[in-house]
Structure 1
Protein backbone atom coordinates (compact mmCIF):
# COMPACT_ATOMS: atom_id res chain seq x y z
CA UNK A 1 0.00 0.00 0.00
CA UNK A 2 2.97 2.30 0.52
CA UNK A 3 3.83 1.88 -3.16
CA UNK A 4 0.20 2.46 -4.16
CA UNK A 5 0.01 5.75 -2.27
CA UNK A 6 3.34 6.76 -3.81
CA UNK A 7 1.79 6.24 -7.25
CA UNK A 8 -1.23 8.23 -6.09
CA UNK A 9 0.90 11.17 -4.96
CA UNK A 10 2.97 11.25 -8.17
CA UNK A 11 -0.07 11.23 -10.46
CA UNK A 12 -1.84 13.89 -8.40
CA UNK A 13 1.17 16.23 -8.55
CA UNK A 14 1.50 15.56 -12.28
CA UNK A 15 -2.13 16.44 -13.03
CA UNK A 16 -1.98 19.54 -10.84
CA UNK A 17 0.87 20.93 -12.97
CA UNK A 18 -1.84 22.18 -15.34
CA UNK A 19 -4.45 23.37 -12.88
CA UNK A 20 -6.63 25.28 -15.35
CA UNK A 21 -6.91 22.17 -17.52
CA UNK A 22 -7.61 20.05 -14.44
CA UNK A 23 -10.47 22.25 -13.23
CA UNK A 24 -11.99 22.66 -16.69
CA UNK A 25 -12.01 18.89 -17.15
CA UNK A 26 -13.51 18.47 -13.68
CA UNK A 27 -16.29 20.93 -14.52
CA UNK A 28 -16.93 19.01 -17.74
CA UNK A 29 -17.17 15.78 -15.77
CA UNK A 30 -19.68 17.48 -13.46
CA UNK A 31 -22.05 18.27 -16.33
CA UNK A 32 -21.87 14.87 -18.10
CA UNK A 33 -24.01 13.00 -15.51
CA UNK A 34 -25.93 16.23 -14.82
CA UNK A 35 -27.44 16.08 -18.32
CA UNK A 36 -28.45 12.46 -17.68
CA UNK A 37 -30.03 13.44 -14.37
CA UNK A 38 -32.00 16.24 -16.02
CA UNK A 39 -33.41 13.64 -18.42
CA UNK A 40 -34.35 11.51 -15.41
CA UNK A 41 -36.07 14.47 -13.80
CA UNK A 42 -38.19 15.26 -16.87
CA UNK A 43 -39.08 11.58 -17.23
CA UNK A 44 -40.67 11.58 -13.76
CA UNK A 45 -42.12 15.05 -14.34
CA UNK A 46 -44.06 13.55 -17.23
CA UNK A 47 -45.00 10.11 -15.85
CA UNK A 48 -44.89 10.61 -12.07
CA UNK A 49 -43.58 7.16 -11.16
CA UNK A 50 -42.14 3.99 -12.68
CA UNK A 51 -43.48 0.68 -11.34
CA UNK A 52 -44.17 2.22 -7.96
CA UNK A 53 -40.81 4.02 -7.68
CA UNK A 54 -40.97 7.77 -7.05
CA UNK A 55 -38.49 10.34 -8.32
CA UNK A 56 -36.40 10.78 -5.16
CA UNK A 57 -36.20 7.02 -4.64
CA UNK A 58 -34.73 6.58 -8.11
CA UNK A 59 -32.55 9.67 -7.57
CA UNK A 60 -31.00 7.89 -4.57
CA UNK A 61 -30.33 4.86 -6.76
CA UNK A 62 -28.86 7.18 -9.43
CA UNK A 63 -26.55 8.89 -6.94
CA UNK A 64 -25.20 5.66 -5.46
CA UNK A 65 -24.35 4.03 -8.80
CA UNK A 66 -22.80 7.18 -10.29
CA UNK A 67 -20.76 7.75 -7.15
CA UNK A 68 -19.42 4.20 -7.33
CA UNK A 69 -18.69 4.59 -11.04
CA UNK A 70 -16.79 7.87 -10.60
CA UNK A 71 -14.65 6.41 -7.79
CA UNK A 72 -13.82 3.31 -9.82
CA UNK A 73 -12.96 5.46 -12.86
CA UNK A 74 -10.64 7.54 -10.71
CA UNK A 75 -8.80 4.78 -8.85
CA UNK A 76 -9.06 1.82 -11.25
CA UNK A 77 -8.36 3.69 -14.46
CA UNK A 78 -5.13 1.71 -14.87
CA UNK A 79 -7.10 -1.42 -15.78
CA UNK A 80 -9.41 0.52 -18.09
CA UNK A 81 -6.38 1.83 -20.03
CA UNK A 82 -4.42 -1.40 -19.74
CA UNK A 83 -4.39 -2.21 -23.48
CA UNK A 84 -1.93 0.64 -24.09
CA UNK A 85 0.59 -1.05 -21.75
CA UNK A 86 0.32 -4.30 -23.72
CA UNK A 87 0.46 -2.66 -27.16
CA UNK A 88 3.60 -0.67 -26.26
CA UNK A 89 5.24 -3.63 -24.55
CA UNK A 90 5.40 -1.74 -21.26
CA UNK A 91 3.73 -4.55 -19.33
CA UNK A 92 6.94 -6.60 -19.81
CA UNK A 93 8.73 -4.03 -17.68
CA UNK A 94 6.13 -4.41 -14.92
CA UNK A 95 6.69 -8.17 -14.85
CA UNK A 96 10.37 -7.90 -13.92
CA UNK A 97 9.72 -5.59 -10.98
CA UNK A 98 9.55 -7.20 -7.52
CA UNK A 99 6.00 -6.00 -6.87
CA UNK A 100 2.52 -7.26 -7.66
CA UNK A 101 1.37 -6.54 -11.23
CA UNK A 102 -2.07 -5.81 -9.77
CA UNK A 103 -0.74 -2.90 -7.68
CA UNK A 104 1.46 -1.61 -10.51
CA UNK A 105 -1.36 -1.58 -13.07
CA UNK A 106 -3.79 -0.12 -10.52
CA UNK A 107 -1.32 2.68 -9.84
CA UNK A 108 -0.40 3.32 -13.49
CA UNK A 109 -3.29 5.73 -14.09
CA UNK A 110 -5.54 7.92 -11.96
CA UNK A 111 -8.23 10.29 -13.20
CA UNK A 112 -8.65 12.90 -10.46
CA UNK A 113 -10.83 15.00 -12.77
CA UNK A 114 -13.60 12.52 -11.93
CA UNK A 115 -14.05 14.62 -8.80
CA UNK A 116 -16.56 16.64 -10.86
CA UNK A 117 -18.71 13.58 -11.52
CA UNK A 118 -18.37 12.56 -7.87
CA UNK A 119 -19.43 16.00 -6.65
CA UNK A 120 -22.55 15.92 -8.80
CA UNK A 121 -23.45 12.49 -7.40
CA UNK A 122 -22.95 13.71 -3.82
CA UNK A 123 -25.29 16.68 -4.45
CA UNK A 124 -27.98 14.37 -5.86
CA UNK A 125 -27.49 11.98 -2.93
CA UNK A 126 -27.95 14.73 -0.34
CA UNK A 127 -30.97 16.15 -2.20
CA UNK A 128 -32.62 12.72 -2.47
CA UNK A 129 -32.01 11.81 1.18
CA UNK A 130 -33.36 15.17 2.38
CA UNK A 131 -36.63 14.52 0.52
CA UNK A 132 -37.16 10.90 1.53
CA UNK A 133 -38.95 9.93 4.79
CA UNK A 134 -36.31 7.38 5.81
CA UNK A 135 -36.21 6.17 9.40
CA UNK A 136 -32.47 6.06 9.83
CA UNK A 137 -30.58 3.57 11.97
CA UNK A 138 -26.93 2.66 12.27
CA UNK A 139 -27.44 -0.44 10.12
CA UNK A 140 -29.13 1.58 7.36
CA UNK A 141 -26.30 4.12 7.32
CA UNK A 142 -23.73 1.32 7.09
CA UNK A 143 -25.77 -0.33 4.34
CA UNK A 144 -25.74 2.87 2.28
CA UNK A 145 -21.96 3.18 2.63
CA UNK A 146 -21.48 -0.48 1.70
CA UNK A 147 -23.64 0.01 -1.41
CA UNK A 148 -21.17 2.60 -2.71
CA UNK A 149 -18.12 0.50 -1.79
CA UNK A 150 -19.63 -2.60 -3.39
CA UNK A 151 -20.32 -0.65 -6.57
CA UNK A 152 -16.67 0.41 -6.75
CA UNK A 153 -15.54 -3.22 -6.41
CA UNK A 154 -17.96 -4.42 -9.10
CA UNK A 155 -16.92 -1.78 -11.64
CA UNK A 156 -13.26 -2.44 -10.83
CA UNK A 157 -13.83 -6.17 -11.34
CA UNK A 158 -15.32 -5.52 -14.78
CA UNK A 159 -12.32 -3.34 -15.69
CA UNK A 160 -10.03 -6.19 -14.59
CA UNK A 161 -11.87 -8.73 -16.75
CA UNK A 162 -11.64 -6.41 -19.76
CA UNK A 163 -7.93 -5.84 -19.08
CA UNK A 164 -7.30 -9.60 -18.85
CA UNK A 165 -8.75 -10.10 -22.34
CA UNK A 166 -5.97 -7.84 -23.67
CA UNK A 167 -3.46 -10.63 -23.00
CA UNK A 168 -5.01 -12.50 -25.93
CA UNK A 169 -6.58 -9.73 -28.04
CA UNK A 170 -3.83 -7.09 -27.39
CA UNK A 171 -6.27 -4.28 -28.14
CA UNK A 172 -9.04 -3.53 -25.66
CA UNK A 173 -12.53 -4.78 -26.51
CA UNK A 174 -15.32 -2.23 -26.66
CA UNK A 175 -17.75 -4.96 -25.61
CA UNK A 176 -16.60 -4.27 -22.04
CA UNK A 177 -18.41 -0.92 -22.25
CA UNK A 178 -21.68 -2.86 -22.26
CA UNK A 179 -21.01 -3.78 -18.63
CA UNK A 180 -19.30 -0.55 -17.50
CA UNK A 181 -21.07 2.37 -19.17
CA UNK A 182 -24.08 0.19 -19.98
CA UNK A 183 -24.14 -1.24 -16.46
CA UNK A 184 -24.05 2.24 -15.00
CA UNK A 185 -26.95 3.41 -17.17
CA UNK A 186 -28.96 0.28 -16.35
CA UNK A 187 -28.24 0.24 -12.62
CA UNK A 188 -29.27 3.87 -12.10
CA UNK A 189 -32.83 2.50 -12.06
CA UNK A 190 -34.19 -0.22 -9.73
CA UNK A 191 -33.82 -3.62 -11.41
CA UNK A 192 -37.46 -4.63 -11.12
CA UNK A 193 -38.43 -2.21 -13.92
CA UNK A 194 -36.63 -4.54 -16.38
CA UNK A 195 -37.55 -8.00 -17.60
CA UNK A 196 -36.87 -10.83 -15.15
CA UNK A 197 -33.92 -12.33 -17.06
CA UNK A 198 -32.18 -8.94 -17.06
CA UNK A 199 -32.74 -8.51 -13.32
CA UNK A 200 -31.45 -12.04 -12.64
CA UNK A 201 -28.35 -11.60 -14.81
CA UNK A 202 -27.44 -8.34 -13.09
CA UNK A 203 -28.03 -9.87 -9.68
CA UNK A 204 -26.41 -13.33 -9.89
CA UNK A 205 -23.78 -12.87 -12.65
CA UNK A 206 -22.77 -9.21 -12.48
CA UNK A 207 -24.26 -8.28 -9.11
CA UNK A 208 -25.42 -4.70 -9.59
CA UNK A 209 -28.63 -5.75 -7.86
CA UNK A 210 -26.69 -5.98 -4.60
CA UNK A 211 -25.69 -2.33 -5.03
CA UNK A 212 -29.01 -0.75 -5.81
CA UNK A 213 -32.21 -2.80 -5.85
CA UNK A 214 -31.97 -5.21 -2.89
CA UNK A 215 -30.41 -2.93 -0.23
CA UNK A 216 -32.36 0.06 -1.56
CA UNK A 217 -35.62 -1.72 -0.77
CA UNK A 218 -34.46 -2.13 2.83
CA UNK A 219 -33.35 1.49 3.24
CA UNK A 220 -36.64 2.80 1.83
CA UNK A 221 -38.73 0.40 3.91
CA UNK A 222 -40.02 -1.48 0.88
CA UNK A 223 -38.62 -4.87 1.89
CA UNK A 224 -38.97 -7.17 4.89
CA UNK A 225 -36.50 -9.52 6.51
CA UNK A 226 -33.48 -9.61 8.75
CA UNK A 227 -31.66 -6.25 8.92
CA UNK A 228 -28.23 -7.89 9.09
CA UNK A 229 -28.89 -9.85 5.88
CA UNK A 230 -29.85 -6.65 4.06
CA UNK A 231 -26.70 -4.94 5.33
CA UNK A 232 -24.51 -7.84 4.14
CA UNK A 233 -26.07 -7.95 0.66
CA UNK A 234 -23.63 -5.32 -0.71
CA UNK A 235 -20.76 -7.22 0.93
CA UNK A 236 -21.74 -10.33 -1.04
CA UNK A 237 -21.80 -8.24 -4.21
CA UNK A 238 -18.30 -6.92 -3.56
CA UNK A 239 -17.01 -10.52 -3.56
CA UNK A 240 -17.41 -10.32 -7.35
CA UNK A 241 -13.90 -8.87 -7.46
CA UNK A 242 -12.35 -12.11 -6.15
CA UNK A 243 -13.03 -14.28 -9.26
CA UNK A 244 -12.04 -11.26 -11.37
CA UNK A 245 -8.69 -11.17 -9.55
CA UNK A 246 -8.20 -14.90 -10.14
CA UNK A 247 -8.92 -14.44 -13.85
CA UNK A 248 -6.38 -11.61 -13.89
CA UNK A 249 -3.75 -13.83 -12.27
CA UNK A 250 -4.50 -16.54 -14.84
CA UNK A 251 -4.00 -14.03 -17.65
CA UNK A 252 -0.69 -12.80 -16.22
CA UNK A 253 0.64 -16.37 -16.01
CA UNK A 254 -0.29 -17.01 -19.66
CA UNK A 255 0.88 -13.67 -21.03
CA UNK A 256 3.17 -13.74 -24.06
CA UNK A 257 5.02 -10.53 -24.93
CA UNK A 258 3.77 -8.55 -27.94
CA UNK A 259 7.38 -8.03 -29.02
CA UNK A 260 6.89 -4.25 -29.21
Structure 2
Protein backbone atom coordinates (compact mmCIF):
# COMPACT_ATOMS: atom_id res chain seq x y z
CA UNK A 1 0.00 0.00 0.00
CA UNK A 2 2.96 2.35 0.47
CA UNK A 3 3.58 2.00 -3.27
CA UNK A 4 -0.09 2.77 -3.97
CA UNK A 5 0.03 5.97 -1.91
CA UNK A 6 3.25 6.92 -3.68
CA UNK A 7 1.42 6.60 -7.00
CA UNK A 8 -1.39 8.69 -5.52
CA UNK A 9 0.97 11.44 -4.42
CA UNK A 10 2.84 11.60 -7.74
CA UNK A 11 -0.29 11.75 -9.90
CA UNK A 12 -1.94 14.33 -7.64
CA UNK A 13 1.12 16.59 -7.95
CA UNK A 14 1.15 16.15 -11.73
CA UNK A 15 -2.52 17.10 -12.06
CA UNK A 16 -2.04 20.13 -9.80
CA UNK A 17 0.62 21.49 -12.17
CA UNK A 18 -2.30 22.88 -14.18
CA UNK A 19 -4.50 24.13 -11.38
CA UNK A 20 -6.83 26.21 -13.48
CA UNK A 21 -7.58 23.24 -15.72
CA UNK A 22 -8.02 21.04 -12.65
CA UNK A 23 -10.47 23.46 -11.02
CA UNK A 24 -12.47 23.93 -14.23
CA UNK A 25 -12.73 20.17 -14.78
CA UNK A 26 -13.78 19.66 -11.15
CA UNK A 27 -16.34 22.45 -11.56
CA UNK A 28 -17.70 20.72 -14.66
CA UNK A 29 -17.92 17.40 -12.84
CA UNK A 30 -19.95 19.14 -10.14
CA UNK A 31 -22.65 20.05 -12.67
CA UNK A 32 -22.83 16.76 -14.58
CA UNK A 33 -24.92 14.90 -11.97
CA UNK A 34 -26.69 18.17 -11.09
CA UNK A 35 -28.56 18.08 -14.39
CA UNK A 36 -29.61 14.49 -13.66
CA UNK A 37 -30.73 15.47 -10.17
CA UNK A 38 -32.70 18.38 -11.62
CA UNK A 39 -34.61 15.89 -13.77
CA UNK A 40 -35.30 13.84 -10.66
CA UNK A 41 -36.57 16.92 -8.82
CA UNK A 42 -38.96 17.96 -11.60
CA UNK A 43 -40.21 14.39 -11.91
CA UNK A 44 -41.37 14.46 -8.29
CA UNK A 45 -42.70 18.00 -8.71
CA UNK A 46 -45.02 16.59 -11.35
CA UNK A 47 -46.02 13.24 -9.85
CA UNK A 48 -45.35 13.68 -6.11
CA UNK A 49 -44.15 10.13 -5.48
CA UNK A 50 -43.02 6.98 -7.30
CA UNK A 51 -44.50 3.72 -6.07
CA UNK A 52 -44.65 4.97 -2.48
CA UNK A 53 -41.22 6.62 -2.46
CA UNK A 54 -40.99 10.33 -1.67
CA UNK A 55 -38.57 12.79 -3.22
CA UNK A 56 -36.14 12.91 -0.29
CA UNK A 57 -36.10 9.12 0.05
CA UNK A 58 -35.08 8.79 -3.60
CA UNK A 59 -32.66 11.72 -3.18
CA UNK A 60 -30.91 9.72 -0.44
CA UNK A 61 -30.67 6.76 -2.82
CA UNK A 62 -29.35 9.09 -5.55
CA UNK A 63 -26.68 10.58 -3.28
CA UNK A 64 -25.37 7.23 -2.04
CA UNK A 65 -24.96 5.68 -5.48
CA UNK A 66 -23.37 8.78 -7.01
CA UNK A 67 -20.94 9.12 -4.10
CA UNK A 68 -19.91 5.50 -4.53
CA UNK A 69 -19.48 5.92 -8.30
CA UNK A 70 -17.40 9.10 -8.03
CA UNK A 71 -15.05 7.56 -5.44
CA UNK A 72 -14.61 4.39 -7.48
CA UNK A 73 -14.11 6.30 -10.72
CA UNK A 74 -11.45 8.43 -9.04
CA UNK A 75 -9.38 5.68 -7.44
CA UNK A 76 -10.05 2.78 -9.85
CA UNK A 77 -9.68 4.79 -13.05
CA UNK A 78 -6.65 2.69 -14.00
CA UNK A 79 -8.93 -0.29 -14.72
CA UNK A 80 -11.35 1.83 -16.74
CA UNK A 81 -8.47 2.92 -19.01
CA UNK A 82 -6.74 -0.46 -18.93
CA UNK A 83 -7.19 -1.30 -22.62
CA UNK A 84 -4.44 1.17 -23.60
CA UNK A 85 -1.93 -0.74 -21.45
CA UNK A 86 -2.73 -4.00 -23.25
CA UNK A 87 -2.96 -2.45 -26.71
CA UNK A 88 0.41 -0.69 -26.40
CA UNK A 89 2.12 -3.65 -24.76
CA UNK A 90 2.81 -1.68 -21.58
CA UNK A 91 1.20 -4.32 -19.40
CA UNK A 92 4.31 -6.44 -20.00
CA UNK A 93 6.29 -3.97 -17.91
CA UNK A 94 3.88 -4.38 -15.01
CA UNK A 95 4.31 -8.15 -15.10
CA UNK A 96 8.09 -8.03 -14.66
CA UNK A 97 7.89 -5.75 -11.64
CA UNK A 98 7.92 -7.46 -8.21
CA UNK A 99 4.59 -5.94 -7.16
CA UNK A 100 0.94 -6.95 -7.41
CA UNK A 101 -0.61 -6.07 -10.78
CA UNK A 102 -3.82 -4.88 -9.08
CA UNK A 103 -1.93 -2.18 -7.17
CA UNK A 104 0.04 -1.17 -10.25
CA UNK A 105 -3.01 -0.84 -12.49
CA UNK A 106 -4.97 1.06 -9.83
CA UNK A 107 -2.00 3.36 -9.34
CA UNK A 108 -1.53 4.03 -13.05
CA UNK A 109 -4.26 6.65 -13.22
CA UNK A 110 -6.40 8.73 -10.85
CA UNK A 111 -9.14 11.20 -11.72
CA UNK A 112 -9.11 13.71 -8.87
CA UNK A 113 -11.49 15.98 -10.78
CA UNK A 114 -14.22 13.50 -9.83
CA UNK A 115 -14.22 15.18 -6.42
CA UNK A 116 -16.53 17.77 -8.03
CA UNK A 117 -19.13 15.04 -8.56
CA UNK A 118 -18.50 13.79 -5.02
CA UNK A 119 -19.10 17.22 -3.48
CA UNK A 120 -22.39 17.58 -5.31
CA UNK A 121 -23.51 14.17 -4.07
CA UNK A 122 -22.55 15.06 -0.49
CA UNK A 123 -24.70 18.20 -0.70
CA UNK A 124 -27.68 16.15 -1.91
CA UNK A 125 -27.04 13.61 0.87
CA UNK A 126 -27.07 16.29 3.58
CA UNK A 127 -30.22 17.88 2.13
CA UNK A 128 -32.02 14.53 1.96
CA UNK A 129 -31.03 13.47 5.48
CA UNK A 130 -32.11 16.82 6.95
CA UNK A 131 -35.61 16.28 5.52
CA UNK A 132 -36.10 12.63 6.47
CA UNK A 133 -37.44 11.57 9.90
CA UNK A 134 -34.72 8.97 10.51
CA UNK A 135 -33.94 8.11 14.13
CA UNK A 136 -30.17 7.94 13.96
CA UNK A 137 -28.00 5.69 16.06
CA UNK A 138 -24.65 3.97 15.75
CA UNK A 139 -26.15 1.08 13.78
CA UNK A 140 -27.95 3.20 11.19
CA UNK A 141 -24.99 5.56 10.78
CA UNK A 142 -22.70 2.56 10.25
CA UNK A 143 -25.08 1.08 7.69
CA UNK A 144 -25.14 4.35 5.73
CA UNK A 145 -21.33 4.35 5.59
CA UNK A 146 -21.35 0.67 4.59
CA UNK A 147 -23.79 1.44 1.77
CA UNK A 148 -21.32 3.89 0.25
CA UNK A 149 -18.36 1.54 0.75
CA UNK A 150 -20.34 -1.34 -0.75
CA UNK A 151 -21.15 0.75 -3.81
CA UNK A 152 -17.46 1.62 -4.25
CA UNK A 153 -16.55 -2.08 -4.18
CA UNK A 154 -19.27 -2.99 -6.68
CA UNK A 155 -18.28 -0.34 -9.22
CA UNK A 156 -14.60 -1.19 -8.75
CA UNK A 157 -15.40 -4.87 -9.29
CA UNK A 158 -17.19 -4.04 -12.54
CA UNK A 159 -14.20 -1.97 -13.69
CA UNK A 160 -11.93 -4.95 -12.92
CA UNK A 161 -14.15 -7.33 -14.91
CA UNK A 162 -14.19 -4.90 -17.84
CA UNK A 163 -10.39 -4.64 -17.71
CA UNK A 164 -10.03 -8.43 -17.60
CA UNK A 165 -11.98 -8.76 -20.85
CA UNK A 166 -9.27 -6.68 -22.55
CA UNK A 167 -6.88 -9.64 -22.24
CA UNK A 168 -8.90 -11.30 -25.01
CA UNK A 169 -10.52 -8.37 -26.83
CA UNK A 170 -7.53 -5.93 -26.63
CA UNK A 171 -9.89 -2.98 -27.04
CA UNK A 172 -12.29 -2.04 -24.27
CA UNK A 173 -15.92 -3.03 -24.86
CA UNK A 174 -18.54 -0.31 -24.73
CA UNK A 175 -21.13 -2.88 -23.67
CA UNK A 176 -19.61 -2.79 -20.17
CA UNK A 177 -21.02 0.73 -19.79
CA UNK A 178 -24.40 -0.94 -19.34
CA UNK A 179 -23.23 -2.02 -15.89
CA UNK A 180 -21.20 1.09 -14.98
CA UNK A 181 -22.95 4.19 -16.33
CA UNK A 182 -26.19 2.28 -16.87
CA UNK A 183 -25.97 0.66 -13.45
CA UNK A 184 -25.41 4.06 -11.84
CA UNK A 185 -28.45 5.56 -13.58
CA UNK A 186 -30.61 2.57 -12.71
CA UNK A 187 -29.44 2.34 -9.09
CA UNK A 188 -30.25 5.96 -8.30
CA UNK A 189 -33.84 4.77 -7.84
CA UNK A 190 -35.08 2.05 -5.44
CA UNK A 191 -35.12 -1.31 -7.21
CA UNK A 192 -38.76 -2.14 -6.54
CA UNK A 193 -39.92 0.41 -9.14
CA UNK A 194 -38.55 -1.87 -11.89
CA UNK A 195 -39.72 -5.24 -13.21
CA UNK A 196 -39.03 -8.18 -10.91
CA UNK A 197 -36.41 -9.75 -13.20
CA UNK A 198 -34.48 -6.47 -13.26
CA UNK A 199 -34.60 -6.21 -9.47
CA UNK A 200 -33.46 -9.84 -9.08
CA UNK A 201 -30.59 -9.42 -11.58
CA UNK A 202 -29.31 -6.31 -9.85
CA UNK A 203 -29.59 -7.95 -6.45
CA UNK A 204 -28.19 -11.47 -6.98
CA UNK A 205 -25.88 -10.98 -10.02
CA UNK A 206 -24.73 -7.35 -9.89
CA UNK A 207 -25.68 -6.57 -6.28
CA UNK A 208 -26.71 -2.91 -6.50
CA UNK A 209 -29.76 -3.85 -4.47
CA UNK A 210 -27.49 -4.35 -1.46
CA UNK A 211 -26.53 -0.67 -1.74
CA UNK A 212 -29.59 1.29 -2.76
CA UNK A 213 -32.60 -0.80 -1.74
CA UNK A 214 -32.34 -3.35 1.09
CA UNK A 215 -30.32 -1.22 3.55
CA UNK A 216 -32.32 1.84 2.48
CA UNK A 217 -35.48 0.02 3.53
CA UNK A 218 -33.94 -0.49 6.98
CA UNK A 219 -32.86 3.14 7.34
CA UNK A 220 -36.38 4.32 6.49
CA UNK A 221 -38.06 1.67 8.70
CA UNK A 222 -39.79 0.11 5.69
CA UNK A 223 -38.27 -3.36 6.04
CA UNK A 224 -40.45 -6.42 6.50
CA UNK A 225 -39.46 -9.54 8.41
CA UNK A 226 -35.96 -10.14 9.74
CA UNK A 227 -34.13 -6.81 9.87
CA UNK A 228 -30.72 -8.55 10.01
CA UNK A 229 -30.96 -9.32 6.28
CA UNK A 230 -31.47 -5.65 5.49
CA UNK A 231 -28.72 -4.55 7.87
CA UNK A 232 -26.11 -6.98 6.55
CA UNK A 233 -26.96 -6.51 2.86
CA UNK A 234 -24.08 -4.04 2.15
CA UNK A 235 -21.56 -6.75 3.08
CA UNK A 236 -22.71 -8.75 0.03
CA UNK A 237 -21.74 -5.81 -2.16
CA UNK A 238 -18.26 -5.73 -0.61
CA UNK A 239 -17.85 -9.49 -1.14
CA UNK A 240 -18.74 -8.99 -4.82
CA UNK A 241 -15.16 -7.86 -5.50
CA UNK A 242 -13.71 -11.27 -4.53
CA UNK A 243 -14.91 -13.19 -7.63
CA UNK A 244 -13.88 -10.17 -9.71
CA UNK A 245 -10.33 -10.49 -8.38
CA UNK A 246 -10.35 -14.23 -9.16
CA UNK A 247 -11.41 -13.50 -12.74
CA UNK A 248 -8.60 -10.95 -12.95
CA UNK A 249 -6.03 -13.53 -11.82
CA UNK A 250 -7.38 -15.95 -14.43
CA UNK A 251 -7.05 -13.28 -17.11
CA UNK A 252 -3.46 -12.43 -16.10
CA UNK A 253 -2.45 -16.09 -16.32
CA UNK A 254 -3.84 -16.31 -19.84
CA UNK A 255 -2.47 -12.96 -21.04
CA UNK A 256 -0.61 -12.98 -24.33
CA UNK A 257 1.43 -9.92 -25.23
CA UNK A 258 0.36 -7.87 -28.26
CA UNK A 259 4.02 -7.65 -29.28
CA UNK A 260 3.91 -3.86 -29.51
Q: Secondary structure at the match of 2:50?
A: coil
Query: How far did residue 21 of structure 1 move?
Result: 0.2
Q: CA separation in 1, counterparts of 2:41 and 2:31?
A: 15
Q: In the alignment, does 2:247 pair up with 1:247? A: yes
Q: Secondary structure at the match of 1:49?
A: coil
Q: Which residue of 1 aligns with 2:141?
A: 141
Superposed counterparts of 1:1-260, under 5 Å: 1-260=1-260
Query: How far did residue 227 of structure 1 move?
Result: 4.5
- 1:142–1:231 CA contact under 8 A, matched in 2: no
Q: CA separation in 2, counterparts of 1:225 and 1:41?
A: 32
Q: Secondary structure at the match of 1:98?
A: coil
- 1:74–1:114 CA contact under 8 A, matched in 2: yes
Could you report, residue by residue, the CA deviation over 1:217-254 in whole angstroms, capped at 9, with x for unpaired residues? 00011113444443321011211100000000000000
Query: How many residue pairs align between the two structures?
Result: 260
- 1:26–1:117 CA contact under 8 A, matched in 2: yes
Q: CA separation in 2, counterparts of 1:227 and 1:199?
A: 19
Could you report, residue by residue, the CA deviation over 1:136-164 in whole angstroms, capped at 9, with x for unpaired residues? 11110000000000000000000000000
Deviates more, 1:6-15 or 1:229-238: 229-238
Q: CA separation in 1, counterparts of 2:209 and 2:92?
A: 38
Could you report, residue by residue, the CA deviation over 1:201-232 in whole angstroms, capped at 9, with x for unpaired residues? 00000000000100000001111344444332
TM-score when normalising by structure 2: 0.99
List runs of 5+ in structure 1 lacking aligned partners: none
- 1:64–1:148 CA contact under 8 A, matched in 2: yes
List runs of 5+ in structure 2 lacking aligned partners: none
TM-score when normalising by structure 1: 0.99
RMSD: 0.8
Q: CA separation in 1, counterparts of 2:33 and 2:201?
A: 25
Could you report, residue by residue, the CA deviation over 1:41-92 in whole angstroms, capped at 9, with x for unpaired residues? 0000000000000000000000000000000000000000000101111000
Q: CA separation in 2, counterparts of 1:230 and 1:39?
A: 29
Q: CA separation in 2, counterparts of 1:242 and 1:4?
A: 20
- 2:223–2:230 CA contact under 8 A, matched in 1: no
Q: CA separation in 2, counterparts of 1:123 and 1:10?
A: 29
